[in-house]
Structure formats: structure tokens, C-alpha cells
Structure 1
Amino acid sequence: MVAVAILAAGKGTRMKSDLPKVLHPLGGRSLVERVIESCALIKPERICTIVGYRAAEVKTALAHLPHLEFVEQTEQLGTGHAVQQLLEPLKDFAGDVVILNGDVPLLRPETIADLVSTHQKNNNDATLLTAQLPNPMGYGRVFCDGDNLVTQIVEHRDCNDAQRKNNRINAGVYCFKWEVLAEALPKLTTNNDQQEYYLTDVILHCDKVMAMDVADFQEISGINDRFQLSAAYEILQDRIKEKWMKAGVMIHQPDTVTIDDTVQLEPDVMIEPQTHLRGNSLIKTGCRLGPGSLIENSVIEANTTILYSVVSDSQVGENTQIGPYTHIRGQAKVGEQCRIGNFVEVKKSTIGNNTNMAHLSYIGDATLGAKVNIGAGTITANYDGVNKHQTVIGDRSKTGANSVLVAPITIGEDVTIAAGSTITKDVDNDCLVVARARQKEIKGWRLQS
């Protein structure tokens, strides 16, 4: 059996933020959520999250993960002290414990699985994840024999010139036999400059300790400030875009594009520059997104084009053209072969197949049938100052330019609304509706100076 302990009690002072460090977002998920997800391949029996600073807020943010256990660290007295808090909740546990940091979000699940496999195959008391850094300045060095068994761990400031040439550093990620760790934890002392309990001191109480180098040293990047958070985002984006391009997605100028790793893409999607994909979005084959578009928590069906537009929390059907400068939001559903064009906003509405609204319109809280044509400047006046109301427009109906439909209202099928009309009453099928003052001409009239 394997248990996981995630150290997430710190404040993160260098983030200069009121938000606990482990809750800062990285590509659509918080740092600590990414750490939790990195354990997926080892299928842990238990996951204990050690919380301290603003513990209630961290618990609330992770409440959607019911399998988590929370362990309180009321004082932050070092990594060893944090892990000591496990002695009671894991007192009846038998197996291995993986120790992870809530602010190290880039570890791949395969890396953690390899760490556990190496630990168990070699029957180690402890296995350390290590990395060969190009520039290990400031990091403690890990020294091993020819079998990767750890012989010594020396802090940077204590290394002599020869020892500093060793580029292997401790990543702060461990797999322990719980029985060995549980026996060693009470023996830790604060006999050091920081007056803290160091988890690395547990190694002194282990007989067989092995190091495992991570293949990509960027995986162990920790987050201590905003700059490091930004650097981690760049690393994550490189991974995501490489994955999708190898899967058949075309990304033009990838440096200008961002994609959350919660987004799903099908082959032959084309992503133009300055386009950003967020949340739980699904983009189906043949779509062209951008330039300059934002898609968030939305489903875009096949062969749809979205140009210089924003789509959020909505669904767009196949072979539809969106944009430029369109805003679709609030659980809107746009049908197949539609055109939603320049400076049009659609909010919380259902749009039938083959319906067009080419420019300068607002459609909110409405249901439109198939083959409807919305003229330029058409507005559904859905808000009376207190409540929102529904507009229904039947199949094949047309609104003239600068029409206002005052909800609640139902427009039948095959209706034509004359330009400039303000409609306040329901309209039957097969009607021409004119609701505007008659034009008058006064001959010979001039403005008197």
C-alpha cells in the first residue's frame, strides 16, 4: 500500500499575496491540485494534505476532492515537523509513504510512479528524488556510490570546493517505508540555525537510502514567488502545446497561444496566434480558432471558425462562423451552420440551425428557431429593472435593422419585422409587423436663425 502526504501548510510570504501559496492558479488548477493529480498513477490508498496557514480556506478550495484527508499543522516548524503530524493519523498504516510539496506542481505522474517502483524493487528504507542541475548554486548536494545509494547530503554552505562540483541536488520529494519513518520522526531535533525540524535528518536514521535522478530537472521547480510561478506556467505551456501538436493540432506562433491542460482538442484543429483556451473546453476536428480568440469552458463542434471573439460557458454547433468581435456567453447554445458576426452578443440563448445575426445585435435570454435572420442593431430588451424575461422567435422569421423586442414576447414563424420597430406584443405566424411612427414631411420648413 502507498499513502501520500502533501506539505501545504506554508503561508508563502514571497508571493506577496493574501491567498495561500498552494492555492495560486497554474494553467487552470491550483498548485496543490496539480500535486494531487501527479499521484494518479500510483493510486494511493490515502492522501493526507498537511495544512496550516488559512487551513479552512485550503480545505474549502479542495472540498471537491472527497478522498482527501486533512491534517493540521498549527505551527510551521519545518518539514520534519510537518511530517510528524502524520504519526497519529497513520498510526495503523503499513506500507510506503510518498512525501510531496504543495508548491512543486510540475512533477509528472510517471516520475512519481518511477520513484515508488524504484523504492519498492530495491527494498529501500528511503528513496530520494534528485536532479542534476546545470547550476546547483544554493542547493544542498546529494552524494551517492556507484549503486546510487546515498552516502552523504551536504548543504551548499557546508560544501568544500570539490563537493560543489557535484550537480546532484535533493528535490525534496521522498518515498519512505512508513515503519522506518515513523520510528525516526520522534528523534528529530531543532539543533540547527533555523531552529526547525528538518525532514532530511530522517535519512540519518535509515539504513538503505537510494537516489533517483529525474530525467527533466524542470519537473522539480518549486514556486516561491510570482516570477517562479510565471516560469512554471511557461514550462507547463511548452508541454501542453508539444503534446497537442504531436497529436495533429496545428498551432501557429505557439509562443502567443495558451492552452489549459483541462482543454481537449481533436486532430486538424487550427489555432491562430493570440488565441487562449481555458477550462473544460472541447474543440472538435476542423475548427479554426483565432487570431485573437478566447474560448473558456465551452464545446465547439467540428469545422467551426471563431475569429477575434470570446466564447465562454457555451456550445457552438458545426460549420458555424463566429466573429469577428462576437461575445457568446452564459450557457448559450448556437446551432449548426449559423453566422454570428461583427459586434454581436449572445447571452443565455438558444440559436437554431442556419440562423444569422451578422452585426451589431444583442440577443439575451432568447430562443430562436431555424433560419432566423436578425437584422443589424436588433435588441432583445430582456430586463425590466428587476427580472429577466424570455424572447421566442419562430423559424424563418426576420427582424429589420434597429428592431427592439421587449420581453416577455413571442414572435411566430415566418414573421417579418420592419426596420426601426419596437415590438411589445406577441406576433402570430405569417405576419408583417410595423411598429414605428409614420414618417412626415413638412414642406418649406427651415430652422430659423
Structure 2
Amino acid sequence: MVAIAILAAGRGTRMKSDLPKVLHELGGLTLVERVLQSCQEIQISRRIVIVGYRAELVKEALIGGKEIPENPQFPPLEFVEQTEQLGTGHAIQQLLPHLEGFQGDLLVLNGDVPLLRAETIKQLIAVHKQHQNSATLLTANLPNPQGYGRVFTDSQNLVEQIVEDRDCTQAQKQNHRINAGVYCFHWPDLEKILPELKADNDQKEYYLTDTVNFLSPVMAVDVEDYQEILGINDRKHLATACDILQTRVKDKWMTAGVTLLDPNSITIDDTVELQPDVVIEPQTHLRGKTSIASGSRIGPGSLIENSQIGENVTVLYSVVSDSIVAENSRIGPYAHLRGHAEIGANCRVGNFVELKNTQIGDRSNVAHLSYLGDATLGEKVNIGAGTITANYDGKNKHKTQIGNQTKIGSNSVLVAPITLGQDVTVAAGSVVTEDVPNDCLVIARSRQVVKPGWKLKEPKK
């Protein structure tokens, strides 16, 4: 049995924010959500988050989170409060009444270390169980370990001592192995010594590293890529982590057959799914739960967020949010799809068109300068330039329905609620306020008046 405890109680003062540090976002997920996500491949008996600063906000974010919903495959999240932040050892002491009688292993992770891979965690647990250690700690060899405590081991990787940077001799400083702050403990062994921790240091805090002096055997496991254990303490660290995450994601997709033109100008959340032969043009950004099917070309200059794009779609200089675009459709340039817009197959949504909560049937076109809100269009509908659905009466939104093969003339206004049947033609410049049956021409405009010989009178001098 393995229980995990995630340290998420700190404020993170160097972030210069009222938001708890663990709730800052990295690639579409909060830092603590990323830590929880890294444990999804591990069989876990309990998941505990230790909260403190603005605890209710952290709880709300996780319980109602977009990535960590209640999942029958995982035990529910438990929250333990650390009312005073007196160090990592003090945080784990708060678990004593909650893990009473627990006989398994405790994995301790940090809520501000979001780049740890699942494979690394599984390796740490495997070594811990294989050697039946009292404690196993993750270590890393840093190019520049200045400021970090050094971990010294024997030839079997058994930990002999941990020496703080300020206490290291010049010879000891040549050791670049540092403690990553990630541990796996045999809980019954740790439980016995936790009450004995002392705050005999300048910070007057209880350190979890001190437990190593009272446990045996304690083994170190080196992480293959030291960047995995980088913590987030300020906005610069957050930007560095973003760069690392983007490199991982882009390498993954290019290896899988996706073309990224100018990768440095492109950003892709690791929640995005791409198929082979997708082409992503420069200055394009893919966010959230987005999927893009084979043969599609996105960009340049496009933003796709929480949307599904079908095969062989082009999206040029456009924004698509919370929407669906079916195969062989063309979007843009300068189109905006939002609020659950759904575009059928072989459609065109062109220059300066905005769609909100609108469904468009196959082979329909909205080519220029139009706004369609809360509308449903059938198949083979053509919307002329400058068409607007007047869907808001100042209090409520209303629906517009347009039947198959209907043609709306340029510069028309459809005042909702309204239904237009099949094979309807709306004359250009019409303001349509009443329902129209099938197979009709509707003209809703003033008759043109021509007055021969008329001139504007000159003003008197």
C-alpha cells in the first residue's frame, strides 16, 4: 500500500501574489494538479493534500478542478490542515492522527515541483520496496549545486549523511548530488520518530531531512534529468518550467509525426492531442482539452482552446474556443468561434465572422463580416456579407433557426426568436422579424424612392 502526501500549505511570498503558490498555472494546469497528475499511473491507497495558506481556495480548486475530478480509479482526495507553516517535518507531523495504524509506504511530494515524471516516481517506489528501505530519497546531480544540501552515499547508494551547503568543506562542495525533497518512507518507521524532531536551526523549523539521521536503511535514487526536480519559487522559475514543459511537449509531437513550423513561436499545452500529419504554423497556440485530427493545418497566428478540429481543416489567423469543426472546413482569416459553436463538414467561415453558440450544417458558408449568435443553420445554407442575428433583447437571448439551402442576402438582420424554412431567399438589406415558411422570397425593407431633378437647396447667404 502506498499513500501520497503533497505539501501544499505555503503561501509562496516570492510569487508576489495573494494566490497560493500551488494554484499558479503551468501549461493549463495548476502546479498542484500537475503533481497529482504525475501519480496517476501508481496504485495508491490514499491521497492526502496538506494545506495551510488559503486552504479553502486550494480545496475548492482541486475538488472542482478540471483535471482532478472524482475518479473511481483513485481514492478521494483528503485534506489535512497545517495551521502554522513550521517546516516540512512539521507538515508531515500533521499526518500522525490521520495515518494511525497505516502499515504501508508514504510518498512525500511537493506541490510546487510540477515537472516530476511518473516514470521517476515509479522508479523511486520500486527501489524502496525492492530493498525494504526505511526511507528512499530522490537525488539529483546539478551542474551548479550552490545553495543546496549535499547527499553523501556509499558504493551501494546508502545515505551516510546530508550536509547543508553552508556547512560543506571545499572538498564536500565538489559533490554535486543534492536532495530533491521527494521521499518514500515506510510509515511505521517514520511514525515512531516524527514526534522526536527538533527545531534546532536558525529558521526554528522542523525539517523532514532530519529524519534520515534516525532511519536505516536510507537509500538515494538519482533522477535521470535534474530538471524534473526544479521547484517554483518565483515568476522566473515559473517561466523556466514553462520552457522545459514546452520542449518536452514539442519534442513528443514532432517525434509522433506532427510538423511544427518555427517551434519557438508555438505553444502547446500537454493536455492537447494531435494526430500525425497535422501542421502547426508559426505564432499558433493550442490550449486545454484540444484535439486536432490528421491533415489539418492550423495558423499562422491562431489560438485553439478546448476545441475539437476534424481532418483536413484549415484555421488561418483565427480564434476557436470551446467549439467543434468537422472535416474539410475552412476557418478564417480573422474568424472567432466561441461558446460551443459547431461547424459541419465542408463549410467555410470566413473573414471577420463571429459565431457564438451556433450550429452550422454541412456545406454551409458564412464568408464575410457576419455575427451569428444562438443560431442553428441547416445544410447548404449561404449567409451573405454583413448578416447579423439580433439575438439579445436587452434581457434574454433568443434562437434563430435557418433551414436547408436557405440564402440570406447581404446586410440582413434576423431578429430572434425567428425560424426560416428550407429554400428561403432573404433579399439583401432586409430586417426579418417574422417566421418564414419553406420556398419563399422575403423582402423586408423600404421601397426605393427616386425623385428626378431634386437638388439640395443652397443655404441663404
TM, length-normalised to structure 2 = 0.96
> 1:41 and 1:392 mapped to 2: Cα distance?
47
Pair 1:336-2:345 in alignment: yes
> Which residue matches 1:404?
413
| Corresponding residue of 2:17 | 17
Q: Match of 1:424? A: 433
Matches within 5 A, 1:66-215: 66=70, 67-215=76-224
Q: Which residue of 1 aligns with 2:63?
A: 63
> Could you give the per-residue CA deviations for residues 113-169 of structure 1, whole angstroms, max 9, x where no partner exists?
000001111111111100000000111101111111111110001011111111000
Quote the offset at 1:92 in angstroms: 1.4
Match of 2:73 in 1: none
Aligned to 1:35: 35
* Mapped contact 2:12–2:21 kept (Cα < 8 A): yes
State the superposition RMSD in angstroms: 0.9
Q: Any conservation in 1 of the 2:349–2:366 contact (CA below 8 Å)?
A: yes
Residue pairs, 1:353-364, within 5 angstroms = 353-364=362-373
Q: Is 1:276 aligned with 2:288? A: no
- Counterpart residue identity of residue 411, structure 1: L
Distance, in Å, in 1 between the alignment partners of 2:379 and 2:77 is 48
Report what 2:45 is aligned to.
45
Match of 1:2 in 2: 2
Flag structure 1 segments of 5+ consecutive residues without an equivalent. Answer: none
Q: CA deviation at 1:431?
A: 1.3
Amino acid at match of 1:354: R
Q: Where do 4+ consecutive residues of structure 1 move more than 6 Å? A: none
Aligned-partner Cα distance in 2 for 1:72–1:219: 27
Percentage identity across paired residues of the two chains: 65
- Give the aligned partner of residue 389 of structure 1: 398
Q: CA deviation at 1:440?
A: 1.8
Q: Report how far residue 257 of structure 1 moved.
A: 0.9
1:23 positional shift = 0.6
Secondary structure of the structure 2 residue equivalent to 1:97: strand
- The 3-state SS of whatever aligns with 1:40 is coil
1:42 CA displacement: 2.1
CA distance in structure 1 between the partners assigned to 2:246 and 2:5 by the alignment: 27
* Count of residue correspondences: 449
DSSP-derived class of the 1:114 partner: helix
Deviation per CA, 1:174-204: give whole Å up to 9, x if none: 1111111111111100111111101000001
Match of 1:439 among 448, 455, 461: 448
Give, in whole Å, the separation in 1 of the partners of 2:105 and 2:310: 46
Q: Equivalents in 1 of 2:216, 2:314: separation in Å?
A: 62
Retained in 1: the 8 A contact 2:161–2:213?
Answer: no
The CA distance in 2 between the partners of 1:429 and 1:323, in whole Å, is: 31
User: What is the Cα deviation at residue 349 of structure 1?
Assistant: 1.0
Task: Return the alpha-carbon distance in structure 1 between the equivalents of residues 445 and 59 of structure 2.
Answer: 59
| TM-fit CA distance, 1:16 | 0.5
Q: Residues 325 and 345 of structure 2 are in contact (CA less than 8 Å); yes or no, is this contact kept in structure 1?
A: yes
Give 1:445 shift. Answer: 2.3
Query: What CA distance in whole angstroms lies between the structure 1 residues aligned with 2:378 and 2:235?
Result: 49
Distance, in Å, in 2 between the alignment partners of 1:88 and 1:273 is 54
Aligned-pair CA distance for 1:373: 0.5
Aligned-pair distance for 1:444? 2.2
Matched to 2:57, the amino acid is E
Provide TM-score, normalisation by structure 1: 0.99
Residues 96 and 191 in structure 2, CA contact (< 8 A), matched pair in contact too: yes
Question: Equivalent residue for 2:356?
Answer: 347
SS at match of 1:244: helix
- Look up the SS of the partner of 1:42 in the other structure: coil
**Unpaired segments of 5 or more residues in structure 2?**
71-75
